[in-house]
Amino acid sequence: MSTKNLPNIGARTINSFKSKLIGGGARPNLFEVVLQFPDGVGIDPDAPEDARFMVKAANLPASNINVIDVPFRGRNLKIAGDRTFDVWTITVINDTTFNLRNAFELWMNGINKHDNATGETTPSDYQTDAMVYQLGRSTVQTTAGQGGSIQGQDDKLPVLKSYKFHGIFPTNVSAIELSYDQPDTIEEFTVDLQVQWWDAFKGGQDSSMFGSDPSA
């Protein structure tokens, strides 16, 4: 194999590595989730604001395309199939108001009631959108109405990347285990949300990376 066009392998230094680690690297604890809840099911109007603080774990979504195997003379030709979207799971801190747990239980009850299996039948009535923001470490001074950042106390954290989940709805709110053996523990629970599709945005930009309509 010719090495004429290969990069200068082995000539990397710690200083050259540092120069490529822009911003010191993205940190998984710097994020914010913004949820919307459907109207008409009795959810506390403070729930979306509570979620910004009490959703303690989420994920930036995977990107999946299925594979179609086409047999040909003892081999399989792989061609691209349809795109699929994983379940989006969030972890929620439970405070003594149970506000967010109540919100998700009411949301699910609006979809399928506990006592008689009736509920909303029109998807637009029970599906909403959500955002997850990957934030940067350095606070930036901003002016009112300036985009690309999340409001803090006096400054704002820069948005490195954001994802919009379209048409979400919950299909599981996990159990909370109760035990005398956990005196110094705050309750948590997970919520599984189905996703129709997601969109991605660079930094605080309003236009999709993929050219799709962010308002769809």
- Domains of the chain (ranges; CATH) run 23-58+86-202 (2.30.110)
**With contact defined as beta carbons under 8 Å apart, do 167 and 65 qualify?**
no
**pLDDT higher than 90, residue 199:** yes
pLDDT digits (tens, 9 = 90+) for 55-99: 999 999 999 999 999 999 999 999 999 999 999 999 999 999 999
Residue 201 CA from chain centroid, whole number: 12
**pLDDT higher than 60, residue 144:** no
**pLDDT higher than 90, residue 192:** yes
For the record, the structure tokens of 156 come out as 């704002």
